[in-house]
Amino acid sequence: MVTINELTDEKLMLGYRDGNIRAFEQLYSRHKGGLYRYLLRSCDSRAIAEELFQDVWASVIKARSSYEASARFTTWLYRIASNRLTDYYRKTGKWDQYIEQADENSADCPVSPPYKQPEHQSDINQQIQRLLQCIEQLPLLQRQVFLLKEEAGMKLEEIARSLASNREAVKSRMRYAIQKLRLCMQAEA
């Protein structure tokens, strides 16, 4: 017999759609951390991230009756989150900046040298803090692509679907993001 822990996200969501609250609890516990960090690192403040986090889950709850397992649950969840982020940036007038940063040309991006590998725990903590600072400095679209890969474990196609974009654009943004992070980390070292 399959336990609730072994069920896929899609089956859990279908279970919740049919009135099983345990399925939702399981689904929430699986995705709350990743989604929260994705929102936290994609916007300006913790308060806004929390507000958006609640908003995304409220949308999931509201849309449960129309949910069909035609795509991965994660893709659907992060699509809602990305839409909420877009709405937030548009509302606060930061959308233009968001687009400009994302449209950088790959030719402007220098090839980054390999950065020094940390040896001690204190070094690791420093490196983590540095990485988070570097992520914050990334243009928003590149940041989103990187975070979706790391937090939701998505492939390029899934990221493209979540961001309502195409695979090539996502691939390009990912390349920029990696190069910039390497450069940023090397500069610190």
Partner 1 sequence: MNETHHPTPPDLEDSRLSALYQKSRLEEPAMRLDSVILTRARHAVEKKTLLWFKEHWLVPLSSFALAMLTVSLFIQMKQERPDVIAPATRAPSIQAKEHLKDDVQMKEYPASEVRRKSREGRTTAAPARASVPEMKQESAGKAIAPAAEGIRTQQRGQRQRTNREDVQPGNIQGFTEAPENAPLSSGVTNKASATEKPGVWIERIRLLIKQQKKEEAIRELNMFRQTFPAYKLPDDLQQFMH
Of 79-87, 95-103, 136-144, 156-164: span binding partner 1 (CB under 8 A):
156-164
Among 26, 74, 151, 163, the residue binding partner 1 under the rule CB under 8 A is 151
Q: Does 48 interact with partner 1 (rule: CB under 8 A)? A: no
Of 77-85, 86-94, 95-103, 117-125: span binding partner 1 (CB under 8 A):
117-125
Q: Does 155 interact with partner 1 (rule: CB under 8 A)? A: yes
DSSP letter for each residue of the chain: ---GGGS-HHHHHHHHHTT-HHHHHHHHHHHHHHHHHHHHTTSS-HHHHHHHHHHHHHHHHHTGGG--TTS-HHHHHHHHHHHHHHHHHHHTT-HHHHHHHHT--GGGSPPPPPPPPP-SHHHHHHHHHHHHHHHHHS-HHHHHHHHHHHHH---HHHHHHHTT--HHHHHHHHHHHHHHHHHHHHHH-
Which tokens belong to 68?
Answer: 């069909």
CB closer to partner 1 out of 93 and 114 = 114
Among 11, 30, 37, 79, the residue binding partner 1 under the rule CB under 8 A is 37
CB closer to partner 1 out of 1 and 107 = 107
CB closer to partner 1 out of 92 and 133 = 133
- Residues in contact with partner 1 by CB under 8 A are 16, 19-21, 24-25, 28, 32-34, 36-37, 40, 50, 53-54, 57-58, 61-62, 64-65, 69-72, 115, 117-118, 124, 127-128, 131-132, 135, 150-151, 155-158, 167, 171, 174-175, 178-179, 181-182, 185
